[in-house]
Structure 1
Amino acid sequence: MTDDDGHLEANDRFDEICPGNGADLRQSRHSERRLSFGRVGVMKTELPADIARSISLVKRLDEVRRTTEFANQRAKLRRPPMDLFSRGMADPKSKVALLASDSRFQNWALVVIVLNAVWIGIDEDHNYKGSGIPLVVFDVGEHIFGFCFTFEILVRILAYRKKADFFNDKHLRLWNIFDLCLVVMMVIEIWVLLILDADASTLGSLSVLRLLRLLRITRVFRMVPELGMMVKSMAAAARPMSRSFSTGVVAIRYVFAIILTNWAKGSEERLIKEVDGVPGFFDDMYGTIPKSMLTLWQVLVFDDTFSLIRATLSEGPACGALLLIFIMLGAFMILNILIGVICEIVSGTTETEKDKLLRERIVEVFDAMDVDGSGTLTENEFNAQAASRLQKLGVDEDVVAVAFQIIDSSGHGCIDQDEFVQMLLKMLHPPTTQDLLLLQKNLTMVQTLLAEYIQRASIRHQRLEAKLDSLRGRQGSAESTRFGSDRMSSTASLETREAVHQLLGEK
């Protein structure tokens, strides 16, 4: 393979690592100043400006990612995807839309929901004659909560630029319909039936619908994502927990139940013996397999456990010791293992849900910055809104200034949604070992390719120097030959002149 072929191969490898940048590095008009040579075999190198800038960006990004903690995003994750402005579904000049997107309004709605749940409990306990509280107080309370929830749902409907979007919003469609149905039922119960002068029996039967308002408390799971994460984590842990429980605790209980039942039935006197004033104590505890399993469950949850153990020890030390072994196996080992499994699953599910919420927020930011709706961001679109929106997500202020160059790794001048989401997730998460190893690998490959470029440039420089020396030697020989010819010509001319003068003199 010739040097030129090796040079082309190195170029191709460099393009694979730095797509879109290798040709720019080779074709840059400043490339002539990147290498300066002295004497033959001595070379002074200067790192290319493009690569130096890229390495600087990587170092700054790595430093920021090291100092950025994912816990700092908790405040951003607590905000549900209700910002209609970021999704372009609200009129920027609408005061109602501003009110609906205000966190104080959302917190007020959450407080009203919790107070209404408390009020339903108070109403159930004290809404009767003779309770000491005037019945009109409960009527006034119902009207107040009715006005509050009606006002809240109207604000949410009027906040949309197109009112039909209230039912078509892909983020909140189900919640909107659910809340609207609850408000409609409340309005019917409080005001419509009152206006229609319905009888007491009808009002009494429809008052059961009041309990459905408690379902509104599920909005807390949406407005406080940590609670929703906990519920989803418990659901994710239910299947492995049920398997472990059935194969672990239930199997052990069944084996111990057989042993204890066999022991209790081994003596008729033991079955009818009175213990602590309870006749047939052991028959009640260990008379059958189901009774024994229930007793072992009582032991497992420490319900009057040691009274049972003492009575069993007094009758049969071996079976009493067996109960102690069961406590150590069941309560201390298996249950603690199950708790560890549940905690691990909950932790993993929580991290997954956090990433999901953060990804949704990043997609909303991308949609808001994509003014022309093309599905890509140009540098002008990015720079117009990047500072405020990326800092709200938690991106460092220093990184925001060069964020477009970092995200646009291909150098096309525009970024799509996938590039935007993936790079921002990397910016907001601490670097993993895999990221650092990949970065080290790429830097090592770039360093190797630069060394190859420098080596090949040095060889070419030596060849050019050799060619220049050869040209200088040829030029010197030509000048010497020409000087000798001129001197001989002048000598011949002089001799010819002298001969002519002599001939003329003789004449």
Structure 2
Amino acid sequence: MTITDIQAASQKLRDNKLFELFVVAIIILSALLIGAKTYPIPQAVMQAVTWLDVGITVIFLFEIVVRFIAEPNKRRFFHNGWNVFDTLVVVVSLVPIEDSEMALVGRLVRIFRVLRMVSIIPELRTLLNSLLRALPQLGYVLLLMFIIFYIYAAVGATFFASINPDLWGDISISLLTLFRVMTFEDWTDVMYETMGTYPLSWIYYLTFIFLTAFAFLNMVIGIVVNVLEDEHARERAEQEEAEGKITLEDLQAEIRELKQLIREQQKNNTP
């Protein structure tokens, strides 16, 4: 078997939907094993779980090798960030560090193997790419949101510290209290407590909630949705372009075949 045959077989296996579903099932099994290790289980079962974990690591290594061989341009394989992430996770999982000082790192890396689900499923990659592309725009919204938080925390620490130091003792504690108010976690108890001393303090809470929970969070959602729509539109455009190229190639091939048939007929008709 030549190298070309091996690459063709690897490409066929990589693009096989059953193989993709098998890898997804292995990732789910890996996540279940991680959860099983958090329970007090018998030593025999723990040994079986350990061997299953080794088998999963070998399967992941095989899948990475298949994807690497299937790539026509080997140098471009590591230009994809997900390929780099998958390779690092698998390579670190192969290092026998369970009984060393790096055992905690090994367990942490095995937990991150669940993220390989994102690299396998295109829809999850699209969602994550959209979120990453939205970060620059979200940064300014979050900065403005932090400024509002800081102003309200300073006001709360100034006026309400004497009422309840546990909630308003300093600006850092006030920030945590305001986060509790924004998430509606028993925020009315906090409001009624300060209203006993400052009856109009409800204005402070309602304006803060309208600015943060309603205005800024809706802005964040809107930015993410817009970027997600742009990402879907870009993928559709790339897919249509690829389909257009394939159609053009098919037409060119058919034209060449027609020309060949015309030449053959002309030769047959020539005395």
- Is this a same-fold pair by TM over 0.5? yes
2:16 paired with 1:121: no
| 1:63-102 matched pairs, under 5 angstroms | 90-91=4-5, 98-102=12-16
Q: Which runs of 4+ in 1 moved over 6 A?
A: none
Match in the other structure for 2:21 = 107
Structure 2: stretches of 5+ with no match in the other structure: 258-271
After superposition, the Cα gap between the structure-2 partners of 1:287 and 1:146, relative to the gap in structure 1 and judged at 3 Å, is closer
Higher relative contact order (CA 8 A, sep 6+): 1
Kept in 2: contact 1:166–1:176 (CA 8 A)? no
Match in the other structure for 1:36 = none
Match in the other structure for 2:197 = 315
Aligned residues: 252
Matches of 1:292 and 1:299, distance apart in 2: 10
Matches of 1:255 and 1:177, distance apart in 2: 43
Match in the other structure for 1:330 = 212
Kept in 2: contact 1:221–1:228 (CA 8 A)? yes
2:156 paired with 1:250: no
Matches of 1:329 and 1:181, distance apart in 2: 43
| 1:337-486 matched pairs, under 5 angstroms | 337-356=219-238, 358=239, 361-362=242-243, 366=246, 377=249, 379-381=251-253
Kept in 1: contact 2:24–2:117 (CA 8 A)? yes
Question: Which has the larger share of helix?
Answer: 2
After superposition, the Cα gap between the structure-2 partners of 1:222 and 1:262, relative to the gap in structure 1 and judged at 3 Å, is closer
Matches of 1:326 and 1:176, distance apart in 2: 44
Kept in 2: contact 1:257–1:289 (CA 8 A)? yes
Bigger radius of gyration among the two: 1
Task: Say which is worse superposed, 225-234 or 214-223, in terms of deviation.
Answer: 214-223
Matches of 1:100 and 1:152, distance apart in 2: 8
Matches of 2:49 and 2:242, distance apart in 1: 42
Q: Alpha-carbon deviation of 1:302?
A: 1.3
Matches of 2:172 and 2:32, distance apart in 1: 41
Matches of 1:153 and 1:305, distance apart in 2: 50
Matches of 1:203 and 1:286, distance apart in 2: 46
What letter corresponds to residue 228 of structure 2 in structure 1? V
Q: Alpha-carbon deviation of 1:223?
A: 2.5
Q: Alpha-carbon deviation of 1:108?
A: 0.9
Structure 1: stretches of 5+ with no match in the other structure: 1-88, 190-201, 266-270, 272-280, 370-375, 386-507
Given the alignment, which residue of 191, 196, 204 partners 2:99? 204
Matches of 1:262 and 1:188, distance apart in 2: 55
The two structures have a TM-score, normalised by structure 1, of 0.41
Given the alignment, which residue of 34, 39, 53 partners 1:142? 53
After superposition, the C-alpha distances for 1:130-149 in whole angstroms (9 at most, x for unaligned) are x3753432243234324534
Matches of 2:21 and 2:181, distance apart in 1: 46
| 1:214-363 matched pairs, under 5 angstroms | 214-247=111-144, 249-264=145-160, 271=162, 281-356=163-238, 358=239, 361-362=242-243
The two structures have a TM-score, normalised by structure 2, of 0.70
Q: Alpha-carbon deviation of 1:259?
A: 3.9
